[in-house]
Homo-oligomer: A and B are copies of this chain.
């Protein structure tokens, strides 16, 4: 039975959204134990039916704005740290939080622990592809690391391909490198070398590299796995999210603040615009995954609703069903030379 350790106090809408999300998910996930870490009395008061749900007392909370590593070290009794510790101790198989991203990353890497041979675990986001063969693509690293080396980026190509094929079911996923131009010699030394490593890996049959991709085209789905360093990946992800939100808000305001004609038009268009917004919404694909650690660790955004929490829990089941962690561990072990020689070179 899959046991998911849940930080019931993480996120802007916690604990209500978390508890409600767990109950929504539970009704579709009969073989899962949901472990809720938080103030038990408060959580119990919110629950309708405690079937499959276990409560574990955690009386501290890591706030969204706290300094991650310090918070992890000082708040041992926080719902976030205790949930991560449960995975480490083998009491749970996976870890979910909607809380402080930095703290989730820190606990994932330092408590759950990185897979030996993965130099730098990364944060991976699932994003919508408006064109191309699949409805989504994955991008990593979107912010676990402020600095990366070429070998890390090569590993992200391998790890992202694993996720795309094993969890999303994409055949021979197309791997692209986020760079500032299409030609192979574009970019700073980091991206030039990463390009070469990915190309060699592709030539050797380890992944399917399709070359550089530019941030301008990402939503058009030029690749199933977009490899990026954590700094520019983070900037790109946030620019896409922020711009989509801003543009939709401008469209909404022209309707709401418009004249009668605009309002009537908006009323007629509403069902279609809702559908448009849904195409850009990828919450049904779940949260951001910490890739390269010893168990599934998934973080959904702080403002997640109960629905998004439930979708993320289903995503964790998929990752678990696909046996992703063990497969990655096995791959890294048997391909040690391929991965580590590149790593030492840098």
Contact = CB atoms under 8 A, between A and B. Distances in A.
Interface string A249-262: 01101110011011
A255 B268 CA distance: 10
A242 B235 CA distance: 14
A47 interface: no
A280 B265 CA distance: 21
How many monomers of this chain does the complex have?
2
A319 to B, nearest CB: 26
A78 to B, nearest CB: 20
Interface residues on A, range: 35 or more
Contact of A143 (B180, B264, B279): B180
Given A146-B186, A265-B272, 20 more contacts: A130-B246, A130-B250, A143-B180, A146-B188, A216-B238, A231-B232, A232-B235, A239-B240, A243-B244, A247-B247, A250-B279, A253-B276, A254-B275, A254-B276, A258-B269, A261-B269, A264-B268, A265-B265, A265-B268, A266-B269
Interface of A: 130, 143, 146-147, 178, 180, 186-189, 191, 214-220, 230-232, 234-236, 238-244, 246-248, 250-251, 253-255, 258-259, 261-262, 264-273, 275-276, 279-280
